[in-house]
Amino acid sequence: MIDVRDAMVVYPGAERPALDGVSLTLSPGESVAMLGANGSGKSTLARLCNALLLPSAGTVSVDGMDTRDAEALWDVRSRVGFVQQNPENQIVGTVAEEDVAFGPENLGVPAGELRRRVDDALEAVGLAGMQRREPHLLSDGQKQRLAIAGALAMRPAYLVLDEPTAMLDGTGRAEVAAVLKTLRDEGVGILHITHQLAEAADADRLVVLSEGRIVYEGTPFGLMGEPEYAGRYGVDLPHMAVLTAELRAKGIDVPAPMLDAESVVEALWR
C-alpha cells in the first residue's frame, strides 16, 4: 500500500504550503482518480509517491518502506511507476523499443524476458508494430503512450500518472483508460491525475484537492450529482452530466447522469 499520512510540502519561497496535511492511501488493485485546479497540489502529491519529492512534514510509505529512507529508494522507485504530463521529458531511447527497454534493462532483466516485457507494454498502449519507430516521428499522443509503456515495462505494483491524457484525442484517451482498467484488474494500484471528471468515472475512488488539501473523497458519480460543489473546486462536470441534471430538473426521467447522447435522446422521446 502507498500510505501518505499528514503530508506537508512547502516549496522554498512559497507563500503557502503546496500540500497542507494530506492523507491518502492507494492499495494494489485499486484505482484512485485525483482532480483539482492547477496549483492545487496534485503533481506535488504524485511526486511524493515515488520519492521524487520528500514531505516537509508527515510521512509517505510504500509497502512499509519510508520514502525518506535512502536505502529503500530503489525499491520504492521500482514499485511505483510514474508517468508525467509531458512525454518529451521522459523519452530517452532513439527508437521506441529502446525507450521502453531502458528501465527494465537497467534493473538487469534478462534478454528474453526483456523482449517480452517491451512487446507487451507496447501492445498494451496500442503501439504494437512500432518497435523500431523513432520517438520524434511519433505524434504527441503516441509519445504519451510510449511513456506509459516505459513505466509498464518496469512491472510496477503502483502506477502514478500525472495527466497522462492531456494531449490525447478521444480515441487515445479511451485506449489509455482501457489500459488503466486492465492494469487495475491485474492488481496494479492506479493513481490517475486528471482534469476530466468523465475520465475519472471508472475509478473506484475520487479525491479532489484544493489549495493543498483534500476537499472531496468519494465516488465519481457522487460528485457529478453536486455541480455547485464541483465548480467551487475548479472541477468541470462533464457537459452531459450538466445536461442530464437540467433535464431531470425539468421532469424528464433520467435517474443517473448519462454521458452519451443516444441515451439522452432515448429518455426524451421514449
What the block records as the C-alpha cell of 183 is: 492494469
Which of 46/118 has CB closer to another protein?
46
Q: How far is CA 201 from CA 67, 97, 195, in A?
A: 30, 32, 12
Question: Quick check: 39 binds another protein (CB under 8 A)?
Answer: yes
**H helices present in the chain, as ranges:** 42-49, 73-79, 96-106, 111-124, 140-152, 170-185, 197-200, 220-224, 227-232, 239-249, 261-268
Give the position of cell 522554498.
Answer: 12
What the block records as the C-alpha cell of 13 is: 519561497
**From candidates 1, 167, 178, 215, binder to another protein by CB under 8 A:** 167
Q: How many residues bind another protein (CB under 8 A)?
A: 46
Which of 79/145 has CB closer to another protein?
145
Which of 89/111 has CB closer to another protein?
89
Which of 107/128 has CB closer to another protein?
128
β-strand partners of 7: 22
Which of 8/267 has CB closer to another protein?
267
Helix (H, G, I), strand (E, B) or coil at 14: coil
How many whole angstroms separate alpha carbon 42 and alpha carbon 163?
10
CB 5 within 8 A of CB 23: yes
The mark string for 8-37 relative to another protein (x by CB under 8 A, - otherwise) is ----------------------------xx
**From candidates 6, 69, 113, 169, binder to another protein by CB under 8 A:** 169
Site for another protein in 110-129 (CB under 8 A): none
Residues that bind another protein (CB under 8 A): 36-39, 43, 85-86, 88-89, 134, 137-142, 163, 166-172, 195, 231, 234-236, 238-240, 242-243, 246-247, 250, 252, 259-262, 264-265, 268-269
